[in-house]
Amino acid sequence: MNFPALIPALRRLAALTARKVASSTVCMTDSLGITLAQINPTVGDIDGNLNIIRAARVDAATAGADLVIFGELVVCGYPPEDLVLKRVFQDAIITGVESLAAKTGDGGPGILIGAPWHVDGLLYNAALLLDGGEISAIRLKHELPNYGVFDEKRIFTAGPLPGPIPFRGVRLGVMICEDMWFPDVAESLYESGANVLIVINGSPFEIDKIDERLNYAVARVTESKLPLIYVNQVGGQDELVFDGASFALGADCSLVAKAAAFEERVLATRWQLQGDTWACENRAITKMPELLESTYRAMVLGLRDYVDKNLFPGVLIGLSGGIDSALSAAVAVDAVGADRVHCVMMPSPYTSKHSLKDAAECARLIGVKLDTIPIKDAMDAFDDMLNDLFVGHSLDTTEENIQARARGLTLMAISNKFGYIVLSTGNKSEMSVGYATLYGDMCGGYSVLKDVYKTTVFALARWRNEQKPSCCLGPDTRAIPERIITKPPSAELKPDQTDQDTLPPYEVLDGVLRCLIEEELSVEEAVERSFDTETVRRVWRMLNRAEYKRRQSPPGVKVTRRAFGRDRRYPLTNRFTGNL
């Protein structure tokens, strides 16, 4: 007899027996109200986050909830990065959680929250069940992500494979975010008798991320035959935007509940025991936004939370009459309102009349204050200052960059005087190839277009002129003048200049950049996508040379898988050229 071959079958039999014993001894109720609390915490604001949690619990109790589920590390905000290593911060979290736990002695709903937690002297990313006036159970994150924007292995210890948590007659199989992306944790919970899978998350928005989460959830349900509840946080944190979109799946993988994306929601569900399976009685499914709307709403939410959570009174933008600054201004107005957005037009002798008119029309459409400050005097002053040193040298990009830096200096002076944050308006295409001026148009405290390619900028501008999401504070009608969208892009730093004087057409440039950045293809592999060999080589060189500029750019909203910064970390000193 082949005994080794019998081992997997014996394990499955033992797990099935354990599940039957657990189900017969623990399930003492046939109905459970579970509320998905999709809230917007702020990193470091422990008291503020706890107040939001308490308020959501009150709402859930009114709806008849037995359990309220919150997101990953909701007590301290996610991601806390190295802040979580401070012992005084950890102590404040413990005090806050213990105080919150005491409130659950009132007979109301239990609370499942995420928090950093010490166990035997080690720091873990934990899920805590608060019920009956105490911390009744602790589960520790097993799978720690260490890629892209995540580096949890440097601050947390990986927990063991967990077992389910008994709660009012039900066995809850609790996972923490990344735990759902692999089969081991769900398998451990299923085999030890869980009745329902619950995932608490801090999962940031990326294009196509919602479908990917759902696919992993379906895989876990298919393997375990258990329903799954997925609760994600919402809101902006530095460069990350959390889109919420919490959901629940039945044991048959059907979608039974889905919360709105990019909005705080407290979604009540009621589950009924039908035979051996828990089923959701009340289906509440919110339609998800399409790709362009999701991208735009991520930009609005990211900017709004960066401005408001950092207590800036408003936003300052250099409005040039071009599409990047026009779209940035529209996003700013949609995020914080026209009364908190101040635009400045800074014409040079090379600024066209239509740019002046377009900037004025843009400001009129979105209802913002527009001041005009010509920079010719500043240009003349620099010419006089540098004339003796530059004698014998012809005009070149040096003088063009002086214009951009005069504008940057002007914006920063206004920012210093009035406290408004300067919004940089460069897009991902320009930042990729270095088509930007350090300490000039790159200056600013934040950028909403940092991870948005130029072709997408055009698409978003057209979309916003036809749509206005309910969360936006700007005009119900057109926000960007049509001529700004249709005219050739230009930096207007010299006569008759257009971007395509020095760059490939943006449709080509963005296609090549997606190959080199998002897919990390070689030059040869990119050429196989029907791009011209010399164009790909040229873009490759520009991309590598511009790394030092990107390191000095402001933070901005992440919307793709490979945003510049923590997603894509290249050495500044780099002689690798591939096969160029």
pLDDT value of position 6: 46
pLDDT value of position 146: 87
Compute mean pLDDT per 10 residues along the chain, 580 residues long, and list them: 46 48 57 96 96 96 95 96 94 96 94 96 96 96 89 93 94 96 95 96 90 94 96 96 96 94 94 91 88 96 97 96 95 97 94 90 95 95 93 89 93 96 95 90 94 96 93 92 85 64 86 92 90 91 91 93 85 76
pLDDT value of position 501: 64
**β-pair type (446-447, 369-372):** unpaired
Type of residue found at 302: G
Task: Indicate the fold that domain 33-284 takes in CATH.
Answer: Nitrilase/N-carbamoyl-D-aminoacid amidohydrolase (3.60.110)
Q: Domain residue spans in the chain?
A: 33-284, 292-550
pLDDT value of position 492: 55
Is 177 considered catalytic here?
Answer: yes
Is 141 considered catalytic here?
Answer: yes
- The count of other CB atoms within 10 Å of the CB of residue 2 is 6
Out of 72, 239, 400, 430, the active site residue is: 72
Contacts of 289 (CB under 8 A, 6+ apart): 261, 262, 297, 469
CA nearest neighbour of 413 among 379, 366, 373: 373
pLDDT value of position 562: 87
Contacts of 300 (CB under 8 A, 6+ apart): 262, 331, 334, 335, 469, 471, 472
CA 283 to chain centre: 27
- Secondary structure letter of residue 552 according to DSSP: T
The pair of structure tokens assigned to 71 is 């997101």
Helix or strand or coil: residue 500? Answer: helix
pLDDT value of position 568: 85
Task: State the pTM of this model.
Answer: 0.91
C-alpha–C-alpha distance, residues 348 and 238, integer Å: 34
H-type helices in 71-208, by residue range?
87-103, 183-191
Q: Enter the CATH code of domain 292-550.
A: 3.40.50.620
Q: What is the crossing angle of helices 209-224 and 183-191, to 10°?
A: 30
pLDDT value of position 570: 86
pLDDT digits (tens, 9 = 90+) for 207-262: 888 889 999 999 999 999 999 999 999 999 999 999 999 999 999 999 999 999 99
pLDDT value of position 375: 94
How deeply is 158 buried, as exposed, middle or buried, from its count of CB atoms within 10 A (0-12, 13-18, 19+)? Answer: middle
First to last CA, the chain: 61
Out of 76, 141, 258, 515, the active site residue is: 141
Is 280 considered catalytic here?
Answer: no
Q: Give the rounded percent of residues in the chain with a pLDDT score beyond 70.
A: 93
pLDDT value of position 47: 96
- Strands of 165-167's sheet, edge to edge? 165-167, 170-176, 196-201, 228-232, 247-249, 255-258, 284-285
Length of the chain: 580
Would you say 365 and 333 are in contact if contact means Cβ atoms under 8 Å apart? no
Contacts of 170 (CB under 8 A, 6+ apart): 26, 27, 29, 32, 195, 196, 278
C-alpha–C-alpha distance, residues 511 and 531, integer Å: 8
Contacts of 204 (CB under 8 A, 6+ apart): 149, 240, 241, 242, 243, 558
Mean pLDDT, all residues of the chain: 90
Out of 76, 152, 177, 309, the active site residue is: 177
